[in-house]
Chain A
C-alpha cells in the first residue's frame, strides 16, 4: 500500500497540472502542495505559493473583472500592489472584503473570490452597454451634465451613477474580524526585501544592528525570484533563499513578511500593516491584521520600481499585461498567461521577457520596439523596430494587435513595457519632492528625511549589480553613523543588465481610446479634455479626471498621465511636476486603524470603589468621562427613573443617603510653601486656613474665566488635599504641575494625585452624623463642636482603618464626605448600608446628587462652561483684593464687570406643572424671541421632589436685581415658550441652617 501512495499522488498531481492549462511543467512551485479554490463559484486548483492571480492565470482565467466606468472586460495586468484591474471580493457574508488585489492574495485551500462590478455573468455584463455611450462619458461629464435641476442630484443622479459605476461592495454588516496594533523599535528599518534590501539586511545584520526587514510579499527576494540572474555564481532565487536563511538565524533581525510599510512619518516613525491570518482558512479568532508603529533610528528604502505601460488603442483588453509581470509569472509561478505572445516595448527590459518566454518554449509572435535601433536582435521571430501598436482586438481576450504599419498579428497575450518608475512614494510623505531624471525617464528621490537612505531600484539603480552594491553600502554607512563596527563583508556581486530606455509614452497615431489609468477608466482623450477645459495643473488634472486615484493610486498610470499633460502644455515633465504622494502607500482597512479599540474596548473604563455594590443593587450606570457611575438605584416597584430619583432625594433629605463621590479629583499637596501656592492658584485666600479646616476655592484661568472649583482641606501645616470636579481632575492637576514647575519653581511644593487612593463617600442628611458615629472608632468626636461645618479630621473607622472625614455638603444637608483607602471602599459602602438600616438609609446616584445640588444652587459643569466668570457665578466677593492670583488682572476687564452682566440665578415656572428645559434662552416678556433680545440661558434643570415642581439654574443679565420678574424661557428647537420667575438660586435652606446643624 505504501508503495502505491506516491504513484497515486503522482497521478493526482498530473491531473492538477492538466487542469491548469497555463501551468508550465517545470519549476519549483509544481512540487508544492496542491490547493483548491473557487472563483465566481467555479472550483479551480493551484499550488501552495501561488497568488490568487497566478492561480487564476494558471487556470486560463484571463478575464477577472469589469472596469469602473465603462464595464469593459478586464484581466490581470501586473503581479503586485500596482494592480489596477484584478480587484476581487474575498470571502462571503459579513467576511466579504471587496477590492482586494488578486495579485497580492496568497492562495489558500478553500479560498473563495468573486469578480466585481458587473450585472449578470462576468463574461456577459449587461452594464457593458455603457461602453457604447463613451463619447458622452469623458472627463467632467458628471460635473457638466447633472447640474440641473439641482434637487435631482441626490435623489436621482447620484443613486443611478453609484449603482452603475464603481468597484466592489461591502457586506453592510459589522466586520467580525479582529485587528490589533503594536509598537516596534529598531536601528534600521529596511523597506523591501528585494536585491538591495536583502544585501542591506545581510550587512546590517552581520554588523549586529537591530534590523527590521519588511516586505509586503509573502516570499522574500523581490525580483530575484522572478528573474534568471546570477549572484555570487548562484541563481538569483537560490541566492535570495540562502540570504533569507542566513538572516533568519540572526537574533538581531526581525523579518516581517506580508508587511506593507504604508507611511513614513516624523522622527523615523513608519506605519506598517502586517497580514497575519488572511491567508489561512481559519484564523482561530486571532487578529487578521496588525498595524505596527515602527520607531527607527534609520531606514533604508529599497522598495524597488514599478513597470509602467504605454497608452495605445484598446490597450486594456484581458491578456494585455506588463512585460516584467509576465516574466514573474513564468519564473516564479511557472505560469504563462498565453501560448502566443507579442511583446511591445520602449526599453531593453522588455527584451528580457522575450528571452524568458523563449527559454520556456513559449511562442513569441513578434517583438515591437518603438526605438529605431536596439542592441537586441532575434532571427527566430519578427522584430519590428521604430514601430508601435495602434489597436488591438478581441472582446474577452486579446486576439490580435494592429501595428502602426497596418499589419495585424494574432496573439493571445501582449506583454507591454513602458519603462520603470522607482517607488519613491515613502520619500515624499514628509514633503520630499522627487526630481526628474532624463536618463531613466523617471522621478528619483530628493530632499528625503535625514534618517532615510534609498537603495537599489528606488534610487534609480535598476541594474542588479548596482542595486546589490547600493544596499550593502547604505547599511555600512548607517553602521558607521551609529558608531558600530561593520562586518567587513563585501557586497554580493552580479552582472549589470542593460536597461536602456526611451521616453515614449503613448501612440499618438492611435485612433481608438488609449487607456492611461485602467482602474479609473481614464484615457488620453480625458487628459486632453481636462487640459482644454483649463485643468492644467497636475493636481487639478487628478481631481477632474480621477487619474491616479483609488486602490492602486496610479502606480502604473501617474507618470504616463503627467507625461501626456506635459506634452499638451508644451512643458517638460519636471516643469509639469507630479502630484504629492501621501500615505497610505497601499490600502489599509479602517478596521486595522481602529485595532482593538472597538465597542466596549474603544476606551478604558474606570470603576468606582462601590461598583460591585451598585451592580448588585441593579444600579443604572452613566458614563462620566471614563468613569461608570451609578445614576440611580431602581427598586422593584419603580418603573420610571424619576420615581427612583425622587425617592433617593426625599429619603436623603428626610434621613440619610450615601453616594460614591470618589470620582472627584483629589490632589495631595505638600511642602513648606503649599499655602502660598494655593493662594496663587485660587481667587480666595488659603494662607490662614487653620489645620483641620476645609475651604471652598475657585480657580481662574489667566483670562479671568473660571477654570474649576472645589474644596481644599488642610490636614497639616504643610499638607493640603485639594478636590476638583470629576471632569477637570486631570486638567487641574496638569495646570498645577505647570504652575509648580514653570511659574514658581522656587516654591517648596509637591503634588501627587490621590484620586484613586481614597474611596470617598458622601453621607448626607439629618441622620448622617448618627450613621457615621456607628462606624467611626469611639475615640473620635463627631459633635458639631468637635467637627463643625467645613471641618476635617484624620480618623479611624471600623477598628483602626485609616480614614479622612470632611464635613462638607453638596446637597445642602448636614453632610460629610468620608474617605478610606480604596481597597475598603466597597466594604464601607456595604457597612454604611448595614449600619444605616435603622435610619432607612438609601444609596443615591448622580441624578439625585444633581437634583440636590440644583436645589441648593451649587454651580457644576453646566455652569463652569469655560465662558463664565466668578462674577457671573455670583462669587465675586470671594475674589481677594489682598493678594495676586492667576486670572486676577484679566478678571478686571470692563466687559466682564458691566452692571448688566449675566448672573447665576434660580428659575421656577409660573405654571408649576410645566417642566423646564435646559438650554432655553431668556427673553423679556413681550419681546420677540431673537438673538438681539437674548438675555441669557437656562443651564441646569431638575424636578425638585421637595418643592414638587421643576426648577432651574441659569444665567440672566443683571439677574440679582430682577428677582420676582417674569421672563420667557424660549426653546426654539423644541418649540416651547415657558414663563418663569427669577428667584434666588438657593431653593432649599438658603440660610444654610441644615448644613451647620
Chain B
C-alpha cells in the first residue's frame, strides 16, 4: 500500500463566530456514541456506569455529566442514550468499552451529527425564530435534552446554562442548519 493519508473534515468548518452578543462554536474533538440497553441488562449497565462515571443514568429528557472523558449522557428515549465525550481516536466504541465492557449495544454516531454550541444573552431570541420548544428556563431547565425540528431539520438540543445550548443536527444538512441559525441572528441583531 502506498502512503495515502485521509484528512478529516469538519461538518461545516466555521470553528467559531461571534455576532455581537451571540457566539457560535462548531464543536470538534468530541465523540458521540449511541448506547442501547440490552433486554434485562439495565441494572448491570447502570452498575458499570456508576462504577466508572460515578453517575446514575439520567431519566428521559435529561442529561448528566461525568468527569471521565468529560462525558455527557443524554437520555433520548427508552433504552437509548447518547454519550458525548472527549476522544481523539477514531475508535470511540473501543474507548467506551474499556470501562463499559460491552454491557450495552454501541453505535458510533460521531460523524452523524454536527455539534453547534450557541451562547450569549440573545440566544433565546435567536432560537425562538426556529425552535418550537418552550425554552423558558423553568421548563427546559439546565441539563434538559430534547429532540425537535428546526427549519425541517431534526435537532437534538441540550441546555448547558441559562443562555447556552448545544445543538446536534445531522451532518449532511448541517450547512443548512448553520444558515438557519445565522439567518435568525441576522434577523434579530
Contact = CB atoms under 8 A, between A and B. Distances in A.
Contacts of B187: 178, 180, 286-287
A752 interface: yes
30 contacts: A180-B187, A181-B129, A183-B129, A183-B133, A185-B134, A601-B179, A601-B183, A604-B177, A606-B172, A608-B172, A627-B172, A671-B38, A746-B39, A748-B38, A750-B36, A754-B109, A757-B111, A773-B1, A775-B1, A777-B1, A798-B4, A798-B5, A801-B6, A822-B111, A822-B171, A823-B10, A825-B9, A826-B9, A831-B6, A835-B2
Interface string B83-114: 00000001100000000000001011111110
B71 to A, nearest CB: 19
A876 B179 CA distance: 48
A627 B153 CA distance: 13
B25 interface: no
Nearest to B179: A601
B79 interface: yes
Describe A's contact surface by its main secondary structure.
Answer: mixed
B92 to A, nearest CB: 10
A603 B128 contact: no
A750 B5 contact: no
Interface string B103-146: 00101111111000000000000001111111110010000000
Contact of A750 (B79, B129, B184): B79
A671 B7 CA distance: 33
A757 B128 contact: no
B4 A834 contact: yes
A625 to B, nearest CB: 11
A837 B107 CA distance: 35
A727 B186 CA distance: 34
Name the residue among B133, B136, B172 with the largest chain A CB count within 10 angstroms.
B172
A798 B6 contact: yes
B128 A821 contact: no
A182 B172 contact: no
Contacts, number: 149
Main SS of chain B's interface residues?
A: loop
B9 A748 contact: no
Contacts of A821: 8, 90, 108, 110-111
A180 B90 contact: no
B112 A757 contact: yes
Contacts of A917: none
B85 to A, nearest CB: 16
B79 to A, nearest CB: 7
Interface string A444-466: 00000000000000000000000
B58 interface: no
Given A607-B172, A626-B173, A752-B36, 9 more contacts: A182-B129, A183-B129, A185-B134, A606-B170, A627-B172, A746-B39, A756-B170, A822-B112, A828-B6
Nearest to A797: B6
A827 interface: yes
B151 interface: yes
Contacts of B177: 604
A827 B90 contact: no
B129 A827 contact: no
Q: Pick from B8, B130, B131 the residue with the most CB of A within 10 Å.
A: B8
Contacts of B129: 180-183, 290
Given A605-B176, A757-B110, A831 B4 contact: yes
B34 interface: yes
Size band of the interface chain A makes with B? 35 or more
Interface of A: 178, 180-185, 210, 285-287, 290, 293, 295, 596-597, 601, 603-608, 612, 626-627, 662, 668, 670-672, 718-719, 746, 748, 750, 752-759, 773-778, 797-802, 820-828, 831, 834-835
B4 A603 contact: no
Contacts of B176: 604-606
A601 B179 CA distance: 9
Given A752-B109, A774-B2, A802-B90, A827 B7 contact: yes
A604 B153 contact: yes
A662 B72 CA distance: 29
B8 A827 contact: yes
Given A752-B36, A758-B111, A185 B136 contact: yes
Contacts of B171: 756, 822
Given A182-B129, A754-B107, A798-B4, A210 B136 contact: yes
A181 B173 CA distance: 20
A605 B107 contact: no
A823 B92 CA distance: 14
Contacts of B108: 754, 757, 821
A801 B179 CA distance: 31
Contacts of B139: 185
Contact of A802 (B91, B130, B151): B91
B113 to A, nearest CB: 7
B170 A184 contact: no
Contacts of A671: 36, 38-39, 105
A748 B5 contact: no
B152 interface: yes
A755 B80 CA distance: 18
Contacts of A287: 187
A658 to B, nearest CB: 14
A672 B36 contact: no
